[in-house]
Amino acid sequence: MSIAPGSDFPPPRGDRPRVLSGIQPTFQLHLGNYLGALRHWASEQHSYDNFFCIVDLHALTVVPDPELVRSSVLELAALYLACGLDPGRSVIFVQSQVPAHAQLGWILECHTPLGWLERMTQFRSKAGTGRERERVSAGVLTYPDLMAADILLYNAEFVPVGDDQRQHVELCRDIAQRVNTLRGEVFRIPEPLIRATGARVMGLDDPTTKMSKSTALVKPAHAILMLDPPDVVRRKISRATTDANPAVVEPVGAGVANLLDIHAAIRGDSRADTVARFTGVSYGGLKQAVTDAINEVLEPVQARYRHWRADEAVLRTVLADGAERAGVVADATLLRAQRAMGLR
């Protein structure tokens, strides 16, 4: 049973469709996080009723150092603002400051078959097999239930994410549908919102794997970080993997395709137009153009980041206000779910 959006639920503010998304405050963000998620959230704020979360509970699966968790939350809040998220248009909040996330997460765990969780690509790659699996935390397995709670608490219609999160959003839909079938209409069924370009930025050193925060930590040449200065961006792009051709010729290899995709995403061009524009251009020329495009978008973000990061009092006020606004919506959904379970 699925619910027609708008049937039983509080209408989104101003009748705009509601979006919810989040980023883990783990290590530094990279170009993939920006092009796959943050940039769209900011540029499309006027079209949606927006909830953007800093998912610190999720970060506990990978960051054990409490000081790092604390500082990463503030860094991410400053980055959200630096990328153009406007607290007047978007509710910006920290997951752990809204207790309903953990509460609904447990309820959803109780409605999720173990096999669904064990089949998730992310669990399989993080947990490995055999002895490794014995040691990995249970949170790595149940993480998708907490993510589903993040989304379902806000009756989100859309979840703007990069391509790597598609499977998690699909699972969230399956869990919500299962609860609705078993317990009556509790949740709105959300849709992933994944863009045509920039949704899967690949590693610069290995364009067959997606750009990821954890790989960037051990191999700096893997990723452009959002706070990399222009000369570091230039150096990393100049070393990015291409192929044996001297210039862009179709069909292009994975490394060149990645550079073209980055350029297309930043400039807002289609992939086809970008290929046409660079066909015959030397790899040196392509890399120069990609470096310039990246630095043009990152430099102003970095300047605004420094400004916001220096003002912790403002950051804390934004987050406290966000948690209060988020809590009102989340608590109403939690109550609906609890009643459906016979808990209240």
Residues annotated as part of the active site: 126, 210, 213
Residue nearest to ligand TYM (CB): 36
Residue 54 found at the interface with ligand TYM (CB under 6 A)? no
Q: Which is nearer to ligand TYM, 210 or 287 (CB)?
A: 210
Please provide residue 22's backbone torsions phi and psi, each rounded to the nearest 5 degrees: -155, 160
Give how far the C-alpha of residue 289 lies from the chain's centroid of Cα atoms, to the nearest Å.
26
Positions 170 through 199 that interact with ligand TYM (CB under 6 A): 199
Residue 91 found at the interface with ligand TYM (CB under 6 A)? no
Positions 10 through 29 that interact with ligand TYM (CB under 6 A): 20-24
> Of the candidates 175, 201, 216, 225, which one interacts with ligand TYM according to CB under 6 A?
201
Q: How far is the CB of 57 from ligand TYM (least distance, A)?
A: 9
Binders of ligand TYM: how many residues, by CB under 6 A?
26
Only one of the segments 157-165, 214-222, 281-289, 293-301 lies at the binding site for ligand TYM (rule: CB under 6 A); that segment is 157-165
Structure tokens at 192: 């992933």
Residue 164 found at the interface with ligand TYM (CB under 6 A)? yes
Q: How far is the CB of 344 from ligand TYM (least distance, A)?
A: 25
Phi-psi region of 155 (alpha: psi -120 to 50; beta: other; left: phi over 0): left
* Cα separations in angstroms, 247 against 143, 222, 252, 253: 44, 22, 10, 11
> Of the candidates 32, 207, 255, 327, which one interacts with ligand TYM according to CB under 6 A?
32
Interface with ligand TYM (CB under 6 A):
20-24, 32-33, 35-37, 55, 58, 147, 150-151, 159, 161-162, 164-165, 168, 199-201, 210-211
